[in-house]
Structure 1
Amino acid sequence: MATIPTARTTGSHGLGREAPRRADRPEAPARWERPALAAVLGVAALLYSWGMGHAAIHPYYSSAVRSMATSWRAFFFGGLDTSGSITLDKVPGAFWPDAVSVWIFGPHTWAAALPHVIEGVLTVWLLHRIVRAWAGPFAALIAALTLTFTPVTVVLNRATIPDTALTLLLVAAAGALQKAVRTGRLLPLITCGVWVGLAFQTKMLQAWLVLPVFAVVYQLTAVDSPLRRALRLLLSGAVTLAVSCSWALIAWMTPADNRPYVDATSNNNPFSLVFGYNGLSRFSDDGTAFGAVPATAASRVSGNTGWGMLVNHTVGPQIAWFLPLAVLAVVTALVWRAREPRTDLLRAGFLLWGGWLAIHAVVFSVSNGNHVYYTAVLAPAIAALAGGGLALFRSAYEAGGRRRLWLPSAIVLTVAWALVLDRPTWFASRLLVFAVIFAVCGTFGLWSSGSRASRGLVQGSLAAGIAATLLVPAGWAVSSLHPRYAGASTSPTAGPVGEFYHRALHDPSALRRAELDRPSARDTALLDYLIAHRKGEKYLLATQAAYPAERLLRAQAQPMLVMGGFTGKAPFPSAPQLGNLIATHQLRYVLLTHLRPTTPATTWVKSHCKRIRSGAYGWRTRGNFGLYDCFTPADRRG
């Protein structure tokens, strides 16, 4: 069996003395490890699943999930309605688990949210496993705790947004890469490519951001010759590309008449959806590129960009509590390990997670706006670096000398930074008091304890210091269990920040969330009217964009023609196509709204169809909608 002479022996104290370690045989767990991990996973499961019956399901995505659960065509292509007339404006991979859950358990809100809870808990468990193999059990426990209590992670895992699956799959890819570096085997590297490819099926190009980091880390730190490492990287890259583009390739090769129209594109091309609308357009001024249609203002947020976005008033409390510690850990580790051999596993781990953090921070900073929950993908890297950094500083503390001061200093820095992040709101001011007290006790104990100090005193001081660093972010995370502090279901955020929170303070109705199979009286009345007057038409209703259809699709899985897709700007159907559907009695009713852009198809409806009085279908007021009957041409009605 080959050994790696520069690996670290990680005993119960985390990072310790230099010693050889077998690359393929994990260290036996200490007595405290499994109970501690079980406790962390239990807390994570409780946080993520609390009140799951009223989870913050995304109104647009969840309507598609219900349709995908009842139709294979809609399931595979990500059709928004059961007929699969048009796709989501995303690839469907992230929603397949949701659809399967709804298919098994029925159209319940908790059934749609369950896969995201499982994905979140699995991510915590997997990160613990990966960090343990890299930096030891102490580092792994800190990483798991940090990830569990990261506020944006908690709110995201309580929603139905693709980033939960993206984060899980990328963490799995990082673990496979770490194993490839540690063992020198090809299979883990290929597995890494598969995981990244599957992550691409959930969030497309964002999954590829880690590839340059993975390639550099493997080329710099893996065993074997440079040429052999490069060839292996090319093979793994080919696997990544094949898995990533598999769905788009299948959809592209399927005749257009046999699949839904690809939303968000002007050319019905799935590659335009992936690389245009959800790719290059994120960096263009007009939001269009490579066949993409212009996006809505809501999907191209104007804030949360620039080099300070990770620490601004809204984003900072979601993700940045351990950011200074993470940066300090990377810089310190690279300096302290500069003279180690090229294959040093400890340094490789800091390069991996530090590169993950850096490349995402750069891309988010230069894009044309980000939802807050995008930053959840940073949480595993920050958590791993926090755990690895504290373990590194603990090892230096136990070794004695001038470096022993780094551990208490890191704790003080983290708690002081919490004061900076929380100060604009003073949301967790009481917790800050306890955090400062714990930090003082912990750092005083660590600073005053010499090499002959009792083991119990050192461990107690360290525990107090770690508790001090976790108290305030945990408070923000737990606050999201109340709907007022959870943000909108379309853009979850924790705590008293963001537009949704301020709107909810003055309008309690904003706290009402979308739910599956629980239509309002207004929606029920419209559905009852449409079903009662349906005379064999293929589509129950056509709507102007997805916005009017979402509520109805969440209530019942019905075939609906969603004209224009999510934004209302996709050129489907054309006016002649719409007229043909009506002439062949495949469609009768159309629901229009002035809140979405006018298209040739909507203009055709207004000129050829008759508007129905809202009272006829049980609505007291029309609101923002108008229902049109297209049973016969308007000029024959007299």
Structure 2
Amino acid sequence: MTAIPAAQPTGAQQGRRAANRRSGRPEDAPRWERPALAAVLAVATVLYSWGIGQAALHPFYGAAIRSMAGSWRAFFFGGLDAAGSISIDKLPGAFWPDAVSVWLFGPHTWAAALPQVVEGVLTVWLLHRIVRAWAGPFAALIAALALTLTPVTVALNRATIPDTALTLLLVAAAGALQKAVRTERLLPLITCGIWVGLAFQAKMLQAWLVLPVFAAVYQLVAPGRPLHRAVRVLVGGAVALAVSCSWMFIASATPAADRPYLDGTSDNNPFALVFGYNGLSRFSSDPTAFGAVAGTAASRTTGNTGWDMLINDTVGPQVAWLLPLAVLAAVLGVGRRAGRPRTDLPRAGFLLWGGWLAVHALVFSVSNGNHAYYTAVIAPALAALTGGGLALFRREYEAKYEPEPAAEYEAEHEAAGRRHLALPAAIALTAAWALVLDWPTRFVSWLLPVAVMLALCGVVGLWSRGPRTSPRKIHAALAAGIAATLVVPAGWAVSSLNPLYAGAAASPMAGPVGKSYHEHHRHAPRRGGLDRPSARDTALLDYLTTHRHGEKYLLATQAAYTAEPLLRAKSEPILVMGGFTGSTPFPTAQQLGSLVTAHQLRYALLTTLRPTTPATTWAKSHCTRIRPTAYGVRTDGSFTLYDCAPQR
């Protein structure tokens, strides 16, 4: 990273900057800001979109995206197949942009992944704007760069998983809250509630984790009387609740025959889908909590839980590179503003992002297991705290060497003088932490000496500053120190461009960690895209299409696992029995028999890799097994195709 030159300010400019530092107002736009931001956004675009034609489409969600692109019923309700017989096991909001993209550009892998790229770049840009309004252009640039180079962010933005949309919408909500605190207007607070409600459509209850933090920050910091602030918080919360529950209310009001069966539920209830299957079952030993499908909780346990979840060997390298610096920034940022007015905006920013980080870390630690990519939602908080913290430490460092201040600012000048070592200490701490995180794998071991040398240059250059040290040398030392904090995570982030180090399509992560890497360390895993069936799937689809005589469904499959490759290859009505886990009680044996009798269904594809249900038992006892050679394969392995045509 090259040093950022700074023109010598005039006396009037020095006075304005000092006033801005005391009040928390952002500085005037420096000459380097726009080119630097453009460069960061360009880097983000390249990292997120490189090789997008081979993007890691989630097998389950990728199938649903193609189906949603071809049917309004499937689109609105998140139908897994084109007929919308059963839904996905999430709310569909996060996949609406993906489905629209596929509808516009055709069933291409890059079309399904394109919205994730756009959402990722927008998040970087939006975070820059928010942090700039809080802590100035220097902090905003560091925050944008830190978020861009977070490994899990790069891996996730190259996939089709709801957390990308969740993160964008919550960052937008944080910006609206910040504006509400700063302006004392109600409209930004209502806007904040709308953004949170839309985030709920992307990832359900996880979107609500920020609400306690938002409410506390507004109540503590916003201008006005306590009761007035409390009423406004309730209004914003009511808006968030109404927008969050809107899809569930619509689904509840729609007759069951006119919408898909809701996957993951035992009673076809949208509230069970959200609060049971995707809610209580993640924190309880009861797998049927609030109407969830049995066995859901056990299937989600990944081992990533507990107080050290964020720093274990798998999750730590994904997101935690700046964790010590962020925590230090949050603690010192709040502590050093003690005694300021209640409405102090710089302190509000540290409370907001520090609370965001703390609440998510707490919830992740007590859940029954988390995928590593869940942590992408804390990356903006880590990035914002890093930018805000380094800006704070830089101001305190430079304050020590400012000319003698006016009498009324002597105490602040003396305090800053005692604190000027925070900047080199933070750089040294972050570089040392990079060694700790990378050491178990030594994945980018060639970058570790680079990080150490940059950190030494930065720390020594800042520490040894004297009265005659030129500003250019100080800028170079600062740039070296910042580069030291980002160079190792950047190495992990870039690894996501190689499919071998990008994790499984169902669980994207960077580097040589996780089950997917250890299963495929000898060769890159195959990526299942849209409209790219394997030879086996092509043979099966050709057979089914040739022997189809007016049936509504091409076939019935046992669980989504069996249907996914066929649905990604061709948008057809497929009756997915049992949904994602294979245990959802749809269709019943009676419903399956009625479809066969009515000549709406003829074939069923069953597998030994998913649990037996009454419907699959009926199929085995009433249908005839078809030899694999009949549809062009030597053996069907764990799959068996049955012909359920009734005797005519």
Q: Fold match, TM over 0.5?
A: yes
Where do 1:541-556 residues align within 5 Å? 541-556=555-570
2:436 corresponds to:
420
Alignment correspondent of 1:223: 223
Structure 1 counterpart of 2:360: 360
Question: In the alignment, which of 575, 594, 597 is matched to residue 583 of structure 1?
Answer: 597
The one-letter code matched in structure 1 to 2:352 is: L
Does residue 608 of the first structure (1) align with residue 609 of the second (2)? no
1:17 corresponds in structure 2 to 18
Per-residue CA deviation, residues 359-389 of structure 1 (Å, 9 max, x unaligned), is 0000000000000000000100000000000
AA partner of residue 489 (structure 2): P
| 2:466 aligns with one of 419, 441, 450 | 450
More deviation, 352-361/612-621: 612-621
Distance across 2 between alignment mates of 1:298 and 1:586: 35
Q: Which residue of 2 aligns with 1:308?
A: 308
- 2: CA distance between counterparts of 1:552 and 1:74? 16
**For 1:103-114, what aligned pairs fall within 5 Å after superposition?**
103-114=103-114
Q: Deviations over 1:105-133 (max 9, x none)?
A: 00000000000000000000000000000
Q: How does 1:227-238 map to 2 (within 5 A)?
A: 227-238=227-238
Map Cα deviations across residues 556-611 of structure 1 (whole Å, 9 max, x no partner).
00001001111111111101111000000000000000111100111101111101
Closer, same or farther: CA 26–143 of 1 in aligned 2, 3 Å: closer
SS in 2 for 1:622: coil
Q: CA deviation at 1:300?
A: 0.4
> Once the 2 structures are TM-superposed, how far is the Cα of residue 19 of structure 1 from its aligned partner?
4.3
Number of aligned positions between the proteins: 620
1:182-581 pair list within 5 angstroms: 182-295=182-295, 299-400=299-400, 401-506=417-522, 508=523, 511-581=525-595
Say whether the 8 Å CA contact 2:272–2:292 is kept in structure 1: yes
Q: In structure 1, what residue type is equivalent to 2:507?
A: S
Partner AA of 1:130 in structure 2: I
Cα distance in 2 for residues equivalent to 1:280 and 1:586: 37
Determine if contact 1:12/1:138 at 8 Å carries over to the other structure: no
Mapped to 2, the partners of 1:184 and 1:623 lie a distance apart of 65
| 1:47-89 CA distance string (max 9 Å, x none) | 0001000000101000000000000000000000000000000
Question: Please, which runs of 5 or more residues in structure 2 have no aligned partner?
Answer: 1-11, 401-416
Aligned to 2:83, the other structure's residue is in SS state: coil
Q: Which amino acid aligns with 1:514?
A: G
Contact 1:12 1:30 in 2 (8 A): no
Contact 1:12/1:137, CA 8 A, preserved across alignment: no
| Counterpart Cα distance in 2 of 1:356 and 1:16 | 29
Runs of 4+ residues deviating >4 angstroms: 19-23, 25-28, 295-299
> Structure 2 length normalisation: TM-score?
0.94
1:6 alignment counterpart: none
Distance 2:31 2:441 in 1: 42
Could you say which residue in structure 2 is the equivalent of 1:620?
634
Aligned twin of 1:594:
608
Contact 2:287/2:297 (CA < 8 Å) preserved in 1? no
Per-residue CA distance 1:173-195 (angstroms, 9 max, x = gap) = 00000000011111000000000
CA contact (8 A) 1:315 1:372 kept: yes
Partner SS for 1:320: helix
Contact 2:267–2:291 under 8 Å retained in 1: yes
Letter in 1 for 2:311: V
* Structural mapping, 1:146-157, within 5 Å: 146-157=146-157
2:102 is aligned to 102
Q: Residue 389 of structure 1: SS of its match in structure 2? A: helix
Partners of 2:13 and 2:54 lie apart in 1 by 42
Rate the CA distance shift 1:12–1:49 in 2: closer, same or farther, 3 A.
Answer: farther
Change (3 A) 1:239 1:409: same
CA shift at 1:261, angstroms? Answer: 0.4
Q: Alignment RMSD, CA only?
A: 1.7
Paired residue secondary structure (1:425):
coil
Amino acid at match of 2:553: Y
SS state at 2:306 partner: coil
TM-score, structure 1 as length reference: 0.95
Structure 2 residue aligned with 1:54: 54
SS at 1:317 equivalent:
helix
Alignment correspondent of 2:3: none
Counterpart Cα distance in 2 of 1:21 and 1:303: 46
Q: How far apart, CA to CA, are the structure 2 residues paired with 1:554 and 1:12?
A: 60
CA drift at 1:335: 1.4
User: Is contact 2:91-2:204 (8 Å) kept?
Assistant: yes
What residue is the counterpart of 1:7 in the other structure? Answer: none
Deviations 1:408-461 (A, max 9, x none): 010000000000111111111111101111111111110111354211111111
1:628 match: secondary structure: strand
User: Given the superposition, is the C-alpha separation of residues 396 and 190 from structure 1 closer, same or farther in structure 2, using an over 3 Å criterion?
Assistant: same
